[in-house]
Amino acid sequence: MAADSNMRKDGDSDSRHKPVTDYLPDTPCVARAYCPGCEPDADPSLEILDVRWCESHSPARDGADDEAVTASAYLSGSGEAGGDDNRRWCDILHGRG
């Protein structure tokens, strides 16, 4: 019996027989919410800050240049962006086609 007590660590036998649960407690938030418009002098080197814009300082959802930029989709045999250009260079460099 003395050998068994030397091998068993304190609390070892109890922890093996406790029920297992899938519940994981939420990690507490250590950051302080702040709005850069309301607190422009907040110093992130002194505390952890989580940017939360207030309603009056919330950035615009659409930019001034959104209408100036156009996007076009061209159907091609390549799924990659610029794949057709890459294929042409491969044909030139490797002598295919």
pTM above 0.85, yes or no: no
- Residue 85, pLDDT score: 72
Q: Could you tell me if residue 50 is inside a domain?
A: yes
- pLDDT for 4 equals 52
pLDDT of residue 29: 86
Q: What is the reported pLDDT for 62? A: 76
* Residue 33 placed within a domain: yes
What Å distances lie between residue 80 and 41, 77, 87, CA to CA? 45, 9, 10
Judge whether 12 lies within some domain: no
pLDDT of residue 7: 53
Domain presence at residue 69: no
Domain that holds residue 44: 26-58
Question: How many structural domains comprise the chain?
Answer: 1
Question: Residue ranges of the chain with pLDDT lower than 50?
Answer: 1, 75
Beta bridge partners of 34: 51
